[in-house]
A and B are shown apart, each in its own frame.
Chain A
């Protein structure tokens, strides 16, 4: 007994092309294929909403000795003075908006063009495809062959920019070994959070596919470049966890910022370890 398909149903093209098996359904998957893209979209959306609020708020981003990673380095004159902190007044007084907007362009661009995030938002937001073997809703597709998506090829330049930003965040983490009166040799709960965050930030940054290529992937003969081969091997091991590191570092950076917000707004006080 047949169970409900007609020859060449719906619009032609794709899985409904007249030459292909006549199956009306866009897909026949029976598992919860929608769960992964829905979870990805929800997670990214939550971060976008949170980071937009924090980036534009221009407040509660410094509570000695902690500076929010969203505002570091702080490149405008309207930044809160941070003793020994990342005040780099490159833009002067004309910049009246939140100083976070000046620096967030770089990590944002790095993550936006990242090979993992591309997969995540192409699937989660653009449904291209929503999941494997689930037909996408678009009538045409040109991928990354045209503007603006051809700009994804600039990923390595954002990697170059992300490295000094990670360096400055490392400096900020060192500064957290002070107390609220800037005396060295102390640690608080925030120090631990910042330490975890900076390890994840570096792991995510160095596990980047462009980094893997630059370190040694572009070589034809590894045997002629033993040092670069070793580096490529290390980055490759990290690269296998790029997705996990992308999420872990995204969450940790938001957590650090939120912790600074709680401290700066007076909601909590930093528990000191020593």
Chain B
């Protein structure tokens, strides 16, 4: 067991202003950044605000930016940094700051509410849902999401353009739309809800320029861009921009033009 002193810069402040403060903290083998933040709290800055919970990369609470990269503090090992490196920890820079490392992520909850929920199929009682594994496995990948909002934080559409927040749901919630649109029992189309069209027209799918930062930062390794956003873009093309698909749906006289 070895220990060494490491240098940290931690952002401290609130909506009125703030700055990066320097700390020198003892680091032990096997520790993660969140351990260091807790040691700063315990020994040097007892009023340092930080949101955390499980310390196991499953609750999505301790999202922050470590050396400028959106990460879960509990899953960022100190061993990835050189011992003489100064580690900078800031709150998520896409959301309003509350205090120190805590941000107001309510933007994400507002966007979550804008996505219409799963529509139960008619005539199938709750508990009687039966689905084949091949039909649900695409959606299951997206269910791994722990809602840490790192993808929302890193997405330049809203990170660099506050004005786009009203129009753009962000990768996490576009992935939710994709998940439901791929769900084998979702009866949205039968209920008159067009998720493909809504993705483009109401949730701002067109703003996504598929630069894959959401995929890069996802701690669950979900291939958000390749498996959710691009397939959703292709589905929106089916609905809005592809005359052949439109023609095919007319010829087959299928009202919702959805492949089964």
Contact = CB atoms under 8 A, between A and B. Distances in A.
Interface stretch (B30-38, B40-48, B169-177, B205-213): B205-213
Contacts of A134: 68
Given A28-B68, A145-B206, A209 B90 contact: no
Contacts of A18: 15
Contacts of B108: none
A213 B182 CA distance: 12
Contacts of B235: 213, 218
Contacts, number: 189
Contacts of A138: 160
B164 A118 contact: no
Nearest to A139: B161
A219 B260 contact: yes
Contacts of B15: 18-19
Interface in A222-242: 222-224, 229, 239-240
A147 to B, nearest CB: 12
Contacts of B258: 220
A222 B94 CA distance: 38
B60 interface: no
A133 B154 CA distance: 5
B209 A154 contact: no
A38 to B, nearest CB: 16
A218 B260 contact: no
A239 B160 contact: no
Contacts of A20: 93-97
A5 interface: yes
Contacts of A229: 134
Contacts of B210: 115, 118-119
Contacts of A49: none
8 contacts: A3-B20, A8-B17, A15-B94, A143-B157, A209-B226, A209-B230, A213-B231, A222-B135
Interface of A: 1-8, 13-15, 17-23, 27-31, 115, 118-119, 122-123, 128-129, 132-136, 138, 140-145, 149-150, 153-156, 209-210, 212-213, 217-224, 229, 239-240
Interface of B: 9, 11, 13, 15-22, 65, 67-70, 85, 88, 90-91, 93-97, 103, 132, 134-135, 153-154, 156-157, 159-164, 182, 184, 204, 206-213, 216-217, 226, 230-231, 233-238, 240-242, 258-260
